[in-house]
Structures are given as C-alpha cells and as structure tokens.
Structure 1
Amino acid sequence: MAAQQVENTNVASQDLLITPKALKQEMPLSEKAAQTVLEGRQVINDILDGKDKRLFIVVGPCSIHDIEAAKDYAQRLKKLADEVSDTLYLVMRVYFEKPRTTIGWKGLINDPHMDDSFNIEKGLHLGRRLLLDIAEMGLPVATEALDPIAPQYLQDTISWSAIGARTTESQTHREMSSGLSMAIGFKNGTDGSLEVATNALKSASHPHSFLGINQEGQAAIIRTRGNAYGHVVLRGGGGKPNYDSVSITLCEQALEKAGVRKAIMVDCSHANSSKDPAIQPLVMQDITHQIIEGNRSIIGLMVESHINWGNQPIPENLADLQYGVSVTDACIDWETTEKAVREMRDKLKDPLASRSEA
C-alpha cells in the first residue's frame, strides 16, 4: 500500500523565524528603557494595591500601522502625562495584534506591509524598535497579548497587558497570563458576561505548566508561578454598555463573590461607546462623577485615541492613507484627548488624594 501523507496536508510552507534571544541581541533594552518598563509595572501594581491613589489610563491608537505617527503621538502623550502625573498615570496603548471575528488585517506584527505578504519577522523588528523608542522617551506602554509566541519577543518592553474579550475564555491565554511579568486586564465577554473574566482571574493567579518556546526558540514546557495582578476590564457587550454605577456595583459584587481582586478598569470604547468615538469622553465624565461620589473600585480607564478623528479603510494604494487616522476602530482626536484628560485630572485631583482603599 502506497504511503500517504498524514500530516501538514494543509500547510503551504514553514519559514524559520528569528529567535527571541537573537532579536533582543539586535535590539537590546537600554538601562533607561528598562527603568521606564519597571517603573510602569510598579506604579500600576501600587495602584491595584491601593498604595498609589492615582488612576492609570491606557490611551492611544486602536492599532499601530504607521511608525512615525505612533512616535508623534507618543511625544505628545509624554508631555500630557507629565502635566497630569499628580493625579493620572498615562500609559500609551501600543497594539500590534488585532483579533478578528472572521478575516481582516491582523496588525503590524503579522502584516507590516498591509498587503497580505505576512512578513512577520519584519513586523517583530518594527514593533520592538517602536517599543524601545517609546520606552526611551520615559513613557510606559500597554498592549494586548494575543499570540502566545510573541511575548517572548516583546514583553520585556511592556508595562501592562490586556487579554481581549475574544480570548479571555481561552485556556491558552489564561496560562500565558499566569507567567507574564506585568499586571493583566481581562475583558468581560463579547456578550457582556462577567463570569469568563472572573474565571480567568482565578485561573491566571495560579501556577500553570504548558507548551511554549524559550529564548532560543526551542519548544519548551513553561512552568509559571501565577500572576497576582490580574483585574477585570469592563468593555460592554451584547449591545449594551456596562460602565454605569449599577453595572459597576454588580461587577464589584461578582468579583467579591469570586474571591478575586475588586479592582475595575473601564474601557471607554467598544460596546461602552457603541463604537462611536464621540461617546468616549462622556464615559470618562461618568466615571469621574462616580469617583467623586465615592466609588473606590475603579482603578483605570482605556481610551482609543489618535492624532486625528475617526477611522479609515486600508486603501489599495497605501500612499492614500490619511496621517494619524486609525485603520481599525474609530478614535477620538488629539485635541479631544487632551481636553478630556485635563478635565478629568482637574476634577479628580482632590477626590483621588483622599480616596480610601476598597
């Protein structure tokens, strides 16, 4: 009987990729950049622990597609971060990987040329270079941990990570989160349910053993200690927002019942804004009011913001891309971002300073 192919029948090719160790040797983390990363992680941990009374705000483009525009945004954000640092701790949103319900552009790491050429090695180089440049500015960064291999290449530059609504229920991502070196925000499910997030928090806080790669790119058994700094991110779902005071109270009760950290971050975009960027500042105002009225569980916000307003489709001719405009979810522009952040800082300076621990 003729031998038949029994594996890789749907695999077109397998291309070797640079190892994490080799990429880091090409693009090492400087002492200044490492200080930015470590300080960012410590501040966020202190906020979660109630030792630091500030809110942290993850703010920036829905996704990164233009390196120069991203650096332009980072320079603006660094100035604003310094201005409001007595009350708010700003962390730049630097998202390279985009989960897709069906198909679409998967982000800078997967497809840096935005032409379905999927030059992933080029994407890793571009992504790491940008992360290092931003850290050199003294600005901490946040990202979504999506691909389970990518953290070995990039996570030494990251101060906070999110697990998205589509992957919070994934065992792979819960295991990965248990070993990451920074605080992790788990979003509620796309249907708005909290149970997947509370289950994820429990799982990630415990040790795990799973398949992964080491710094030499070899398949390895990864054994983790568990991550004590998981927390929930409310992003709405099922066509409904969940940032109002009733939803926040219900979330507090669910977290307490589950026996996990009663710390809540609110995503001002996605279902909480019905994907209308104009609503994001209104969500920020509502959260500000809740804190003034005595809320103690809200510890952070996420805001989708870019240099210019809205979003744009990816054109056939990339030269037609509008500068500083998102190619994924619509964002508020820089002027709106500055105004909303400054207003929040002014209103919360005294209430946060006198806030008691939850």
Structure 2
Amino acid sequence: MQTTTDLNVTETRPLPTPAELITETPASDALARFVAQTRHDLHRILFTDDRRFLLVIGPCSIHDLEAGRDYARRLAALAPKVADRIMIIMRVYFEKPRTTVGWKGLIMDPHLDGSHDIEAGLRSARAFLREVLELGLPTATELLDPITPQYIADLVCWAAIGARTTESQTHRQMASGLSMPLGFKNGTDGTLRAAINAILAAAQPQTFLGINRSGAASAVRTRGNPDCHLVLRGGSAGPNYSPEHIASAEATLAKAGLPPTAILVDCSHDNSAKKPQLQPEVLRALLAQIASGNRSIMGAMIESNLEAGSQPFPQPKDKLRYGVSITDGCIDWATTEALIHELYEGLAPRFS
C-alpha cells in the first residue's frame, strides 16, 4: 500500500506526561500560594488603583542554568528594597521564536548541541522555575509551543505572547485558558490591531484541540482569560513608546472597549533599535511621561544579564563566555542594578 503519512518524519520520541513531570517536580503549597498571590497582585496593577510599576527583567533566554541562578540570586536580593514601588518579575524564557533557524531555547535543546533532548529540557525548565520562585522572585516567560503550558504553567506568574505569534489563532485560544496574566505584543510592523484582537479573543470562551495532564489528545474548553493586556515593542516603522504613541494606544484600547490603563512597554527590540545599551534611555523616557502624570504605563520589560551584549552561537560550549546572552543582547548587572534604583527614585511622583 502506498504510504501517505509521516513521509518527512524521521523519529517520534515519547515524552513523559505533564502529570508525571509535575509529580517529579511539584510546587509546594507555599510556592503555589506565592504564585497565586503574585497573579492577584498583577491583576491589581493592571486593572485597579495599585500604582506599583511592573518590571519584567532578566536574560533574553536561559541557556546556562548556573549563570541563571547567579542572576536570580542577585535580583532576589535587590527586589525587596524597591518592592513598595516596583514589582520585579524575572524573565525565565525557555522558548525562542526564530525567523528562520537557530537555537530554539532550553526546552527544545537543553544541551546546546543539536540533540533536542526535549524531555531533559522540560525537566530543567520546571526545576529552574521552582528554584527562582523559592528565592521569592515571581517568574515570567514567553509561551511559544501550545503544549508547553501543561508542563510548566503552574510555576509561571506572568506570560507573554510574542509579536510573531500574536496573530495566531492557536495562541489566542491557548491564552484564553491560561491562569496567569498575559501580555500580547504588537505585531512586527508596529501596528496594534493584531494585539487588540488577540486580547479580545483570549477573553472569550474557546474550544480547541490540546492535551490534558495525562497527555491525551483532548477538546479543551476555556472560560476566557480576563487578565490579558497590551505590550508595546516597536516595529518596522520604529519605536512606539513616545507620548503620542502611548496616547494613541490608550485611545485604541478604549475604542475596543478595553481598559486604557494597562500598557507595558518592551524597552528592547524595535523600541531600542535592537541596541541593548539604549534600553535605559527608553525607560527614562517612560519615567518622564510618568512624572508628567501618565497613569496608563503600568510597566516595562528589559533584557538584562550578568554581562553586557551577546555572543555568537552555535559555538563550542567551552568557548561560551559566562553570563553573556546567546540570543538577544542585554545590559549588564551593574547597569541593571543602577537602573532599578533610578527607576525607584523616578517613580516618586506616581506615589505623591
């Protein structure tokens, strides 16, 4: 008989079920309470009179677990000192969208050698998220593969859907069933329509194909996620964080029937012309707007690591420099620490 399926599939490797991995690396009752409380606090920052500033900050991606732990310990020591004005959430990004090909993140290729040991990647991701939470740091990640949340979502406080996937029906449906607040980024062209439509779609009940915790293919029905919001990251036409851009975003949200007071600005990507060293200038521009009375900018995202810049990859692992990103460039820890203190002082007008 003529074969008509799996013509281009060379291997299918069974994975543990989500339930099995969750049992191996469970969230303690204390961690579950911490995640739930953080999500509740995020809802307040997004949609109520909580004036704290949400700062999603950390490496572009986690590729070296020890360097990631080093960064998390430093951030955890700093966060309580500014907690009355800033809620700090660490970027713990395990999945990387690629324009063509390249390293797709710790979950897909944890050994950085092309072996694509996804089982080991999922285990590493759960264990690392738990370590960060145990330090008292909330966690943030970008969700790319629609199956991934079943394995790690219980340990994630805030999530993002990237510019390339905001238009995806699959990701809007997935977002409708997620339990954490979630930011949709504007499209790569800089326009807001796709993100606005995504927020509206994700807030509605959806039914779609997925898997359950036992790994069985399932029809998943959701109630809708009420905690989705807009992330401005610039686009091909340039940055979109100026007072004029913010005012336009407020008007667009209001016209769509969405709260105009929940705008997070990504200081990286096209808002900094993909030059990581310009991220502090973007944040300072946001602070100037806040000092002038703006109430809709509720947070920012910054790519930060132990050391500045990025390094080429692939290359031999023993040649990789410690604490340097292998994906997007980042600011270094000294700059990060100084910038957080500057942000804290600059937010004083919001609390006066």
User: Normalization by structure 1: what TM-score?
Assistant: 0.97
TM-superposition CA deviations, 1:279-327 (whole Å, max 9, x none): 1000110001101101111111000000000000125320111010000
Cα distance in 1 for residues equivalent to 2:222 and 2:212: 13
Mapped partners of 1:283, 1:151: distance in 2:
31
Runs of 5+ unmatched residues, structure 2: none
Match of 1:236 in 2: 234
Q: 5 Å matches for 1:271-350?
A: 271-349=270-348
**Equivalent in 199, 207, 210 of residue 208 of structure 2:** 210
Using the TM superposition, give the Cα deviation of residue 239 of structure 1 relative to its aligned residue in structure 2, in angstroms. 4.2
Distance 1:339 1:243 in 2: 22
- Distance across 1 between alignment mates of 2:79 and 2:298: 17
- Summarize deviations over 1:182-210 as a string: whole Å, max 9, x none: 11100000000100000001100000000
Matches within 5 A, 1:1-358: 3-262=1-260, 263-349=262-348, 351-354=349-352
Letter in structure 2 aligned against 1:165? A
Gap regions ≥5 residues in structure 1: none
Distance 1:35 1:14 in 2: 37
RMSD: 0.9
Q: 1: distance between equivalents of 2:281 and 2:77?
A: 23
Counterpart CA distance in 1 for 2:30 and 2:303 is 27
Say which SS state the counterpart of residue 87 (structure 2) adopts. strand
Corresponding residue pairs, total: 351
CA distance in 2, matches of 1:352, 1:225: 35
Identity of aligned residues (%): 53
CA distance in 1, matches of 2:64, 2:300: 24
Deviations 1:74-123 (A, max 9, x none): 11111111111010000000000000110000000000111111000000
Matches of 1:207 and 1:56, distance apart in 2: 27
Amino acid at match of 1:77: L
Q: What TM-score do you get using the length of structure 2 for normalisation?
A: 0.98
Report Cα offsets for 1:259-292 as digits up to 9, x if no partner.
Answer: 1222100000000001111110001100011011
Give 3-state SS (helix, strand or coil) of 1:62's partner: coil
Q: Whole-Å Cα distance in 2 between the matches of residues 285 and 121 of structure 1? A: 42
Give runs of ≥4 in structure 1 deviating > 4 Å: none
**Distance between the aligned counterparts of 2:128 and 2:82, measured in 1?**
24
Amino acid in structure 2 at the alignment position of 1:339: A
1:164/1:187 contact within 8 Å kept: yes
Contact 2:62 2:106 in 1 (8 A): yes
Q: Render the CA deviation track for 1:12-35: whole Å, top value 9, x for unaligned.
A: 111110000000111110122222
